[in-house]
Structure 1
Amino acid sequence: MANILVVDDELGIRDLLSEILNDEGHSVDLAENATQARAARLANQYDLVLLDIWMPDTDGVSLLKEWAAASVLTMPVIMMSGHATIDTAVEATRIGAFSFLEKPITMQKLLKAVEQGLARNHARPAAPAAAAPAVMQAPVDPNVATFAAITVPVGVDPGPHAHQGFDLDRPLREARDGFEKAYFEFHLAREGGSMTRVAEKTGLERTHLYRKLRQLGVDLGRGKRN
């Protein structure tokens, strides 16, 4: 799951992109102008930003320049526009934009651009860890057992997430789907099948959660049986 900021002055575009990205399991913040985008950028760390070029207060290219000049362009930025010229796209790329999407944006192009942007962001060298990863530490709660990077309550059938890892020798989308399925099955089991509590824990709206579970082929009765 990634933290993504969508900046666009059109409500319909913001809602559409938010719905698509939420369905993919991402956490999405919305801004309708540069002022809101600045405030969101100061308050949060984002893995990726989708930035519209034509906005009423400050255009996207100017905001991109502002972030670059302030050395806060630490995340991939994908520019969006339905009226931009080639020169505008080239300028945005020169300033530091990762890529450019022309409106109307198809879901396939959006997801591909986001996936590529996040892949580049994750490929950046990470700072040396000050301590051993949390997964190497013994569980604090004696009623909890730890399997790889996922914690499972004792007495709950761990199912797929009990594996010591995932098959990484496969396409990214398949590997991610495998992890997400195990992730949601774990929360369903822990919350006794309560969709309300699972939605709260995972940060998804119930509608998006149901759609995501159906997409992944998660057995909604599993948690209740356990």
Structure 2
Amino acid sequence: MANILVVDDELGIRELLFEILNDEGHAVELAENASRARELRQAGCPDLVLLDIWMPDTDGVTLLKEWAATGLLTMPVIMMSGHATIETAVEATRIGAMAFLEKPITLQKLLQTVEKGLSRAQTRSAPPGKPTSATGVGGICAPVSSPEAAAPPQAAGRLPDEAPGLQRFTFEAPLREARDAFEKAYFEFHLSQENGSMTRVAEKTGLERTHLYRKLKQLGVDLSKPKREVE
């Protein structure tokens, strides 16, 4: 599983890419503009970025230049556009983009390009003796910093029993079942922490509210509790 950041101002495209990449087993974060993409890049370590060129606040090529100039272009970036010229695509490639996808993007082309990008990320291994990132495939961004992440693994591949609000997991389950179980516990935990506020949970998890509702329904999370706030 890889961490993929999708940056596109069109809600329909964000939703489509989220569904496709999520079904492939990846963790997907969504940004509706360059400003949000900057926040997510500063806060996290994506293994790959799908970046739209034409956006209302800052275009994708300009954002790509910013990341390159500030040392944040440490991950493969795939540019997307339905109206870009050849010159724009060439410029993006020169700056550091690994590929360009023309909209509408076919499923086969998307998955092939993403797979190629993640394979490239894996080759950017950490220096000898250095641990790789605990959340990504490339191990080239932020090191583990939290005490929980740095703690030794628990016996039998299960989360500690004392972790509040979390159910126990087993690594022996099929991947999809294990992922669904974790995601359900993850969202239930955040709903509890935010007193059921869907708005705050959406902001904290980086999901659009529509995606959040859909995901919670898909996972079978109970939204009928009186404590839940639906703004």
User: Which interval holds the TM-score relative to the shorter structure?
Assistant: 0.5 to 0.7
Change (3 A) 1:50 1:140: closer
Change (3 A) 1:152 1:57: closer
Equivalence for 1:46: 46
Change (3 A) 1:115 1:201: farther
Q: Deviations over 1:178-197 (max 9, x none)?
A: xxx84346x39xxxxxx6x4
Output the amino acid matched with 1:83. Answer: H
Output the amino acid matched with 1:200. Answer: K
Q: Please give the alpha-carbon distance, in whole angstroms, between the structure 2 residues aligned to 1:93 and 1:129.
A: 32
Matches for 1:1-226 after TM superposition, within 5 Å: 1-129=1-129, 140-141=154-155, 144=156, 151=157, 182-184=174-176, 187=178, 197-200=181-184, 205=215
**1:123 Cα deviation from its structure 2 partner:** 1.1
Question: Does the Cα contact within 8 Å between 1:23 and 1:208 map onto a contact in 2?
Answer: no
Output the amino acid matched with 1:129. Answer: G
Output the amino acid matched with 1:50. Answer: L
Change (3 A) 1:50 1:76: same
Q: Please give the alpha-carbon distance, in whole angstroms, between the structure 2 residues aligned to 1:18 and 1:140.
A: 31
Q: Deviations over 1:144-182 (max 9, x none)?
A: 2xxxxxx379xxxx99x5xxxxxxxxxxxxxxxxxxx84
Question: Does the Cα contact within 8 Å between 1:79 and 1:97 map onto a contact in 2?
Answer: yes
Q: Please give the alpha-carbon distance, in whole angstroms, between the structure 2 residues aligned to 1:207 and 1:19.
A: 14
Query: In terms of Rg, which structure is larger?
Result: 1
Change (3 A) 1:139 1:12: closer
Q: Deviations over 1:29-57 (max 9, x none)?
A: 11111111111111111000000000111
Runs of 4+ in structure 1 deviating by more than 6 angstroms, as ranges, are: 206-210
Q: Deviations over 1:7-48 (max 9, x none)?
A: 111110111101101101111111111111111111111000
Change (3 A) 1:105 1:207: farther
**1:206 Cα deviation from its structure 2 partner:** 6.5
Q: Please give the alpha-carbon distance, in whole angstroms, between the structure 2 residues aligned to 1:112 and 1:68.
A: 25
3-state SS, counterpart of residue 15 of structure 2: helix
Q: Which moved more, 1:120-129 or 1:32-41?
A: 120-129
Q: Please give the alpha-carbon distance, in whole angstroms, between the structure 2 residues aligned to 1:208 and 1:4.
A: 21
Q: Which blocks of at least 5 consecutive residues in structure 1 are unaligned?
A: 132-137, 145-150, 162-180, 189-194, 211-226
Question: Does the Cα contact within 8 Å between 2:184 and 2:219 map onto a contact in 1?
Answer: no
Q: Please give the alpha-carbon distance, in whole angstroms, between the structure 2 residues aligned to 1:183 and 1:45.
A: 23
- Normalising by the residue count of structure 2, what TM-score does the alignment of the two structures yield? 0.62
Identity of aligned residues (%): 63
Q: Which blocks of at least 5 consecutive residues in structure 2 are unaligned?
A: 132-151, 160-169, 188-211, 221-231
3-state SS, counterpart of residue 49 of structure 1: strand
* Aligned residue pair count: 165
3-state SS, counterpart of residue 72 of structure 2: coil
Q: Please give the alpha-carbon distance, in whole angstroms, between the structure 2 residues aligned to 1:130 and 1:61.
A: 32
CA RMSD of aligned residues (A): 3.0
Q: Please give the alpha-carbon distance, in whole angstroms, between the structure 2 residues aligned to 1:64 and 1:16.
A: 23
**1:199 Cα deviation from its structure 2 partner:** 3.8
3-state SS, counterpart of residue 14 of structure 2: helix
